[in-house]
Structure 1
């Protein structure tokens, strides 16, 4: 690998707490966001993601206060996601020290926002998240879902990724609805299909359960490895993961 692989723990947020579910439901508490962020930074995380998973369903704004608290202790690039955000919120995030911003629903419904966000904040600041699930009736076999994975759109996931890539987005984050929290492995076909179709980096997300799963994701084309459950509940340490990847001749930061 010419580009070092980055490890990105994800803090799914609900009511100010880190939580984790399976298939986007069955939510369990996983700790305080500040404590989690501190622990991950100390243990070798290369980036952090924080997603307000209730922002779409309940029509709430992402919690700026929680973002501020986490940003104060974070020593690595920090990406925040959440839907129905007011148009002025990204600027507030930058002032809080957050370094990235991801949206799925608003950008799917209003793709014209993507070039506007890129122009205002830079292409390296915008990550487009895509929730996907299998649909054999579509060309790629994968469909875009919105509203926290609850609403099927009828849109082909790879075609949407190509459109996003055409705007100049540098990172695309597809999350497998079937794999989310299941710890049965990343959805390798969708990672591979999107990576082959775009020039942007692809984040592997949804399904990591053991060390081998991360190697498989890299082989499929992912350059950023996102995981939540296995990190939150102590099943795998980031430092252990990085050492394992090195032994597989995979370059890590």
Structure 2
């Protein structure tokens, strides 16, 4: 049985790691290169680096930053931000990414998922689904693009299912409503997406405790992504893994 993964996330803006609430009010959290090395030393299973301003600025994630981060890592690295084509994905892989995460471009051109999976393999193709609860409809989460600034006429769960059909290998599922709030993952959203697709799902948005992570795993997550609790030094990755193991979650030591 695959062991549950713990993945720190580095949201990068203008070469610095930032953290906000619901994708807004970003504050500086440090150097991506230093934090990448720090989290690997703590025992992180993987690392996600997202260039949060790349899509809005109509550019690709900063390759120099990815190259410098890669030099610090032996663990898998997922990179996203501004990917608009198969060629863009290839540049990120060439800079050291193991997987490429796509969101806005995949919504604009769903065939990009097929093209990336055909060219690089499903294992390299991660579809990021940023989802905002629509209170006017029952069990409906709207897909958000462009770093949470644009709503799309797409149901997050159905979109995850389509991503699987098109060849994606993993879903990075972020609750827009919970992002940075430290109020726990949106478990109903997790249930809906897990029911709609059988891909590994990374839970993102809202982690504040090991209990929150246990809940995500119990609702079908294969991995949990967190930022604030690590950046603010409330817990280390090693702390999280130790406590998860005590609570019966199989983790890599």
Structure 2 length normalisation: TM-score?
0.96
In 2, Cα distance between equivalents of 1:202 and 1:99:
17
In 1, Cα distance between equivalents of 2:60 and 2:169:
25
1:223 corresponds to: 222
1:218 aligned counterpart, secondary structure? helix
Equivalent residues in 2 for 1:61-140, closer than 5 Å: 61-85=60-84, 87-138=86-137, 140=139
Q: What do the CA deviations read for 1:104-156 (whole angstroms, capped 9, x no partner)?
A: 00001100111110011010001100110101344632110111111111211
2:169 corresponds to: 170
The answer to whether the aligner puts 1:48 opposite 2:47 as a matched pair is yes
In 1, Cα distance between equivalents of 2:4 and 2:46:
11
1:187 corresponds to: 186
1:181 aligned counterpart, secondary structure? coil
> Any conservation in 2 of the 1:62–1:85 contact (CA below 8 Å)?
no
Structure 1 unaligned runs (5+)? none
In 1, Cα distance between equivalents of 2:12 and 2:34:
13
Q: What do the CA deviations read for 1:50-104 (whole angstroms, capped 9, x no partner)?
A: 0000012222221000000001111100000002545422222222222010010
Distance 1:84 1:250, change over 3 A: closer
In 2, Cα distance between equivalents of 1:138 and 1:161:
18
2:18 corresponds to: 19
1:211 corresponds to: 210
> What is the total number of aligned residue pairs between the two structures?
252
Structure 2 unaligned runs (5+)? none
1:150 corresponds to: 149
2:242 corresponds to: 243
> Any conservation in 1 of the 2:111–2:166 contact (CA below 8 Å)?
no
1:45 aligned counterpart, secondary structure? coil
In 2, Cα distance between equivalents of 1:185 and 1:205:
9
In 2, Cα distance between equivalents of 1:231 and 1:32:
14
Distance 1:56 1:96, change over 3 A: closer
1:199 corresponds to: 198
> Any conservation in 1 of the 2:83–2:89 contact (CA below 8 Å)?
no
